[in-house]
Amino acid sequence: MKLNRRLFLKVAGAAGAVAAVPAATAKASTGEAEAAVSSARRGVLVDTTKCVGCRACEAACTEVNNQPEPAKLDDSAVFKTVRTTDTRHYTIVNAATMGASSSGSAVPARFIKRQCMHCVEPACASACLVRALNKTPTGPVVYHKDRCLGCRYCMVACPFNVPKYEYDSPTPFVQKCTFCADRQSRGEAPACTSVCPSGALTFGLRDELIETARERLYAKGSTYIRHIFGEREVGGTSWMYITDIPFEKLGLPGDLGTYAYSSLTQASLAAVPFVLTLWPPLLMGMYTFSKRREQVAAAEGAGKETSHE
Amino acid sequence: MIPHDILTLYSAKMIEYGIAILFLLLFIPFWKYVQGPSLATVPAHATVRQPAMAGTDWFPIPFDRLFHRGHAWARPDADGLVTVGLDGFAAKLVGPLASVGLPQIGAAVGQGERAWRLVADDGRAVDMLSPIDGTITEINGELLKTPEAAQADPYGRGWLFRLRPQRLRANSTSLLSGTTARRWMDEAVAGLQRTLSPELGALAQDGGVPVTGMARIIDPDRWDVLARTHLLTDDKEDANA
Amino acid sequence: MSNSTEGALPSRSWVTDKIFLGLPFADYLKSLATPGNFLAGLIIAIGVPVIVYRFAFGLGASTNLSQTNPWGIWIGFDMLAGVALAAGGYTIATAVYIFGLKEYHSIVRPAILTGFLGYLFAVLGLTADLGRPWNLPVPLFISWGGPSVMFEIAWCVVLYLTVLGLECLPPVFEWLGWKKALVLATKATIGLTVLGVILSTLHQSSLGGLFLMAPTKLHPLWYSPFIPAYFFISSIAAGLSMVIVESGLSHRAFRSRIDHHVDLDKLVIGLARGASIVLFCYFFVKLQGVADGGRWSLLATGYGYWFLVEVLGFILLPSLVFAWAARHANVSLIRWTAAWTVLGIIVNRLNVSVIALNWNAPERYIPSWMEVTVSITLVTLGITAFRWIVNRMPVLNEHELSGGRQI
């Protein structure tokens, strides 16, 4: 739609050297085109060692989305419980449990901002039967609410349990972080990354962010755990995390493979054309065979009879 | 898609192959067992046991035969002959039988013409009409010994005779089957119930079974006249008592 | 038909004849006062307001669904189990029309009717579950999510419902007496059957394929790349068992309408043999799934025991009992085993969608009383529709229009 095209043009202009990119969902057929799409992807690097838990990101998000202010914005007691996003709050910040960094010394409290990961090959988009959830080439997984049936398969498919449902509404929608796709189409950064005072959130091209992250991880004397969460998990996510405490303490799932979830169902869907092609001859063959046997049996039976009425 | 560690993969594969071989070994005897002949003979269910009847289901209609308004049925058989009998309504109407007077083998009967006589155990007799034209080829010998069979199992053991039909197709146009036969039967029952209900009391629409010898209950003195009315054999020329 | 019965039968309106079973309206109403109808009426009287409430006030007010557990029994039972148990339609149709097992043709029609109503009410259950059911035309006509398994299911179910509806037309045309339409409808039978098998293979397996997307949420004993195969194979056993159960109940409930010279017991024994073999293979396929994932150690956990209950108690056991009962011509035992197998299919579908899904989530799902009510109401409506149709149309018996030989 119009938004996508404008977004695409802006990105092409901003990136400067983008080769002809195929349409939003067509697979890139050459390495060059793939690199071009990849280089156009936006992402965010979340450096939890820099997050101070101010929750300015939460406030900015609710402001641009016309949602109620987050609860207890200036009360650190909110960190006592592990929260999840909900239908009116697309992002939340949780505190990690206190833990030792890889160097063994005690570390200050760590915080982690959670929101939609905007996966490179999102499970939700591949699950959605009407493309209500749709991956845009530059990163955001956007929601076209007019198409949505409310089947909630996206909620089952998402390994991060991101999509939230408006169960209390008689005309419910799925709610999740939009990566400020509309702001990005205007050339702006997402609201949360714009207000982060401590530099924990860095918005930019995904490939560049990975480089940045690697520099930090492998710098001399770095205390980071040498893993970028989201670089390859579930085929890669736009929001990536680096930290100096074990990732489980941040609440990030540790049992995700590196395969994209869309690949899980492709094998069984690939069987569909095979069934459509092979079942008819198989079944008609059996039908013909059994009809033939009937005819032969009937002919033999008739041959045995000597008189008719 | 489940990530395997290469070492467990070896043992997993061995187990899988093992299970597959085990299955194949077990499958052949299992198939033989399942497809083998039944150790017990299946009881023949050519006719269903008399069902508990309620409402208008007093006289269920078997759907493989043709009915004549005189409450007789004809069933074309695979060998080209036709089996003839009386229907459940007639059986219950007349009640316990002393004998059944069947036509002789070789005799010709006509559709709508008197073909046999039911003699009740009180001596009164009621004739019935043949459902089709034909020549008698066989009569049910069992009825000579146990005439109750005609009353107890009119669609099965109580068949009356078999004949070679002459004009089966033409005859069929005057006969009822399937849902039309059912409606006709329901009408006959309804008609009977209108006369019956004061007498039979509880044996009404919602439960109960038709009583053997319904005609006798309605009109003990002249039940045979009533029966002949229903069985369409109440000709004025017939002077039977 | 007969022209000499004009005197015997009073002329009746079409409505009286076809709808009110030939009875005058007052008598028809009186005949409806049976205990079965009373129970059904009670259930529907409670259920319909609940359904209205659900649509008026939303899912949150009427269900126990949550952000962690987005799917409940309307998906697990009404949709998944409903579709599996409606598989008798394509199973028996294949046996009769493709494999040429003509002796089963007396149960083809009730099997297809059960299938059609099963799918219809599964779709109604789905409609109750959808947040925005008025968008149902979207995946069909407006926006196509090709890579989605759900998309394939949506198309297959819509097409298959149509196929089943068409397959149900011959008894309708016989009931209405439309001879030309009947001939046309009957000619389409083989094509519709083949199409039905194809569509059934696709969506029965895809309903299982939905859960391929949840490797971290579905318990490893139930999660397998072979879930689609499990669902497809078990649907065959489900269909055969459901036909055994349905035919037993129908022959008792509709005594006066059945064809008296059909030996149902012999057919049931044949179906039991088939179900036995299918369940036997299904058991081994499930076993292979455990081996493939190297999951043996999990069998010793709580969920492992439950898995064993499902696999040994509801798959292997009925397979062996079906085999024994068929050999000993014990029809009553076959019927009980069939009901047991039906229960097992329901257990399996609920396991995959509700019980073993999110097994390790902090918040578990228990259906609300309204969800249970709606499910029971939909089943009751389905049974009532079945009875209404069977009491009027030649489903359990042959019609004179078919020339005594039912197609």
Give the integer Cα–Cα distance in Å for A197 and A54.
9
Which of B42, B53, B184 is the closest to C5 by Cβ?
A: B184
B17 shares a domain with B118: no
Please determine, for residue B55, whether its predicted confidence score (pLDDT) is greater than 60. Answer: no
In a domain, B44, yes or no: no
* Contact flag A308-B80 (C-beta cutoff 8 Å): yes
Q: Between the ranges A99-113, A197-211, B8-22, B72-86, where is the mean pLDDT highest?
A: A197-211
Structural domain boundaries enclosing B1:
1-36
A-proximal residues of C, 47-86, CB under 8 Å: 55-61, 63, 65-68, 70-71
Using a CB–CB cutoff of 8 Å, tell me whether C37 touches chain B. Answer: no
Tell whether B91 is covered by a domain: yes
Say what the pLDDT of residue B106 is.
86
Q: Could you write out the three-class secondary structure of chain C?
A: CCCCCCCCCCCCCHHHHHCCCCCCHHHHHHHCCCHHHHHHHHHHHHHHHHHHHHHHHCHHHHCCCCCCCCCCHHHHHHHHHHHHHCCHHHHHHHHHHHCCCHHHHHHHHHHHHHHHHHHHHHHHHHHHHCCCHHHCCHHHHHCCCCCCHHHHHHHHHHHHHHHHHHHCHHHHHHHHCCHHHHHHHHHCHHHHHHHHHHHHHHHHHHHHHHHHHCCCCECCCCCCCCHHHHHHHHHHHHHHHHHHHHHHHHHHHCHHHCCCCCCHHHHHHHHHHHHHHHHHHHHHHHHHHHHHHCCHHHHHCHHHHHHHHHHHHHHHHHHHHHHHHHHCCCHHHHHHHHHHHHHHHHHHHHHHHHHCECCCCCCCCCCCHHHHHHHHHHHHHHHHHHHHHHCCCCCCCCCHHHCCCCC
Q: Are C70 and A164 in contact (CB < 8 Å)?
A: no
User: CB distance B3–A257 less than 8 Å?
Assistant: yes
Binary contact (B46, C2; C-beta < 8 A) = no
Among the residue ranges A98-102, A150-154, B201-205, the one predicted with the least confidence is B201-205
Dist. CA C398–CA B50, nearest whole Å: 20
Q: How far is A104 from chain C (nearest CA, A)?
A: 31
Residues of C in contact with A294 (CB under 8 A): 100, 102
pLDDT on residue B235? 64
Q: Is residue B46 part of a domain?
A: no
Rounded to the nearest 10 degrees, how much is the dihedral formed by the CA atoms of C174, C175, C181, C186? -40
d(CA B221, CA C271): 55
Kindly state whether C185 is in contact with chain B, defined as any CB-CB distance less than 8 angstroms: no
If you average pLDDT over residues A1-20, what whole number do you get? 44
State residue C203's pLDDT score: 92
> B45 to chain C nearest CA, in Å?
6
Question: Domain count of chain B?
Answer: 2
Q: Which domains does chain A have, with CATH numbers?
A: 45-269 (3.30.70.20)
Torsion sign, CA atoms B16, B22, B25, B26 = negative
Chain B residues near residue C224 by CB distance under 8 angstroms: 2
B119 shares a domain with B4: no
Query: Which pLDDT score is estimated for B241?
Result: 34
For residues B19 and B67, membership in a common domain is answered with no
Lowest mean pLDDT, pick from A214-218, B48-52, B143-147, C354-358: B48-52
Sign of CA dihedral B156, B161, B164, B166: negative
Q: Does residue B237 surpass a pLDDT of 50? A: no
Residue in chain C lying closest to A285 (CA): C98
Domain co-membership, B121 together with B22: no
Residues B31 and B60 in one domain: no
Could you report the predicted ipTM of this complex, rounded to two decimals? 0.90
Return the minimum-mean-pLDDT range out of A11-25, A70-84, A272-286, B83-97: A11-25
Q: What are A238-247's pLDDT values in tens digits?
A: 999 999 999 9
User: Mutate which of A114, A151, A234, A252 to disrupt the C interface (most C C-beta within 10 Å)?
Assistant: A151
Give the model's confidence band at A18: pLDDT under 50 very low, under 70 low, under 90 confident, else very high.
Answer: very low
Give the Cα separation of C374 and C360 in Å (integer): 28
Most confident of A271-275, B152-156, C274-278: C274-278
Q: Indicate if B20 and B71 belong to the same structural domain.
A: no
Interface contacts A/B by beta carbons within 8 Å: 9
CATH number of the domain bearing residue B233:
2.40.50.100
Whether the model pTM is above 0.80: no
Which residue has better confidence, A308 or C277? C277
**B22 and B97 share a domain?**
no
Interface residue C287 vs chain B (CB under 8 A): yes
Residues B87 and B186 grouped into a single domain: yes
Q: How confident is the model at residue B179 (pLDDT cuts 50, 70, 90)?
A: low
pLDDT score, position A52: 92
Closest approach of C80 to chain B, Cα-based (Å): 24
- Report chain A residues touching chain B, CB-CB < 8 A: 257, 259, 263-264, 308-309
pLDDT in tens, C44-97: 999 999 999 999 999 999 999 999 999 999 999 999 999 999 999 999 999 999
**Same structural domain, B117 and B72:** yes
Residue B142: pLDDT band with limits 50, 70, 90: confident
pLDDT tens for each residue of chain C, 407 residues long = 444 443 344 556 778 777 887 777 888 888 888 888 999 999 999 999 999 999 999 999 999 999 999 999 999 999 999 999 999 999 999 999 999 898 898 899 999 999 999 999 999 999 999 999 999 999 999 999 989 999 999 999 999 999 999 999 998 998 888 889 889 988 899 899 999 999 999 999 999 999 999 999 999 999 999 999 999 999 999 999 999 999 999 888 887 777 766 788 899 999 999 999 999 999 999 999 998 888 888 999 999 999 999 999 999 999 999 999 999 999 999 999 999 999 999 999 999 999 999 999 988 999 999 999 999 999 999 999 999 998 888 888 766 555 444 33
Q: For residue C143, which of C155, C157, C158, C131 has the smallest C-alpha distance? A: C155
C237 contacts in chain B (CB < 8 Å):
none
Q: Which residue has the higher pLDDT, B220 or A86?
A: A86
B80 with A309: Cβ contact below 8 A: yes
Is the pLDDT reported for residue A48 higher than 90?
A: yes
Residue A38 or C396, more confident: C396
Interface contact flag, B1 A308, Cβ < 8 Å: no
Q: Name the interface residues of B facing A (CB cutoff 8 Å).
A: 1, 3, 79-81
With CA atoms as reference, the chain C residue closest to A133 would be: C145
Give pLDDT, residue C88: 94
pLDDT at B43 over 60: no
| pLDDT tops 60 at residue A6 | no
C contacts of A267 (beta carbons < 8 Å): 225
Touching chains, A (3+ CB pairs < 8 A): B, C
Option in B1, B79, B80 nearest A259 (CB)? B1
- Cβ of C216 within 8 Å of Cβ of A256? The answer is yes
